[in-house]
C-alpha cells in the first residue's frame, strides 16, 4: 500500500480548514484515511501556534513505515525540524514575462533616443 501524509480539506466554502492525515495514496483527497496526525488552519496568523499542530511522534512512525509526505506537509515538517530543509531553486521566478521585457526594451530605447538629443 502506497502511503501518503497529506492534507484533507474540511471547513465550509471560503473558510478552509485542513487535517493532516496518513492515507492510502489511492483514496480521494477528502476521503478515507487511516490516522489523523494534526491540523492546519490557514486563516490564523502565521505566527500563531494554533495554525499548524502536528503529532510529530506519529508522523515519524508513519515515515518509518514508508509514508511519503506531500510538498505542503514537507514544508510543515521542515519548520518543525523533523525533515532536513531541502534546497529549492526556481531561477525563472524573478524573470518578467515576454510583454514586460518588450515594454522595458521600448522604454530603454526611448530613454536612449531622448538622451542623444
The string of pLDDT tens digits covering residues 15-51 is: 999 999 999 999 888 888 999 999 999 999 999 999 9
> In whole numbers, what is the pLDDT of the chain averaged over residues?
90
Neighbours of 106 (CB within 10 A): 10
With 80 as the cut, is the pLDDT of residue 1 above it?
A: no
Q: What is the sign of the dihedral through the CA atoms of 86, 74, 82 and 65?
A: negative
With 90 as the cut, is the pLDDT of residue 12 above it?
A: yes
Neighbours of 3 (CB within 10 A): 17
Q: Where does the pLDDT of residue 112 fall: very low under 50, low under 70, confident under 90, or very high at 90 and above?
A: confident
With 70 as the cut, is the pLDDT of residue 86 above it?
A: yes
pLDDT of residue 30: 86
Residue partners of 67: CB distance under 8 A and separation at least 6: 3, 4, 5, 22
Indicate the SS3 state at residue 38: strand
| Domain boundary assignment for the chain | 3-80
More confident residue, 60 or 82: 60
pLDDT of residue 117: 67
pLDDT of residue 45: 94
Residue linked to cell 490564523: 44
Q: 3-80 falls under which CATH superfamily? A: Ribosomal protein S16 (3.30.1320.10)
pLDDT of residue 52: 94
Amino acid at each position: 500500500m502506497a502511503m501518503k501524509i497529506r492534507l484533507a480539506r474540511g471547513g465550509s466554502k471560503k473558510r478552509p480548514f485542513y487535517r493532516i492525515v496518513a492515507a492510502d495514496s489511492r483514496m480521494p483527497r477528502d476521503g478515507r484515511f487511516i490516522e489523523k496526525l494534526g491540523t492546519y488552519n490557514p486563516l490564523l496568523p502565521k505566527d500563531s501556534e494554533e495554525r499548524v499542530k502536528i503529532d510529530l511522534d506519529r508522523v515519524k512512525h508513519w515515515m518509518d513505515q514508508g509514508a511519503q509526505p506531500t510538498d505542503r506537509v514537507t514544508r510543515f515538517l521542515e519548520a518543525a525540524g523533523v525533515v532536513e530543509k531541502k534546497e529549492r531553486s526556481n531561477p525563472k521566478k524573478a524573470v518578467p514575462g515576454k510583454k514586460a521585457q518588450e515594454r522595458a526594451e521600448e522604454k530603454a530605447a526611448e530613454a536612449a533616443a531622448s538622451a542623444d538629443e
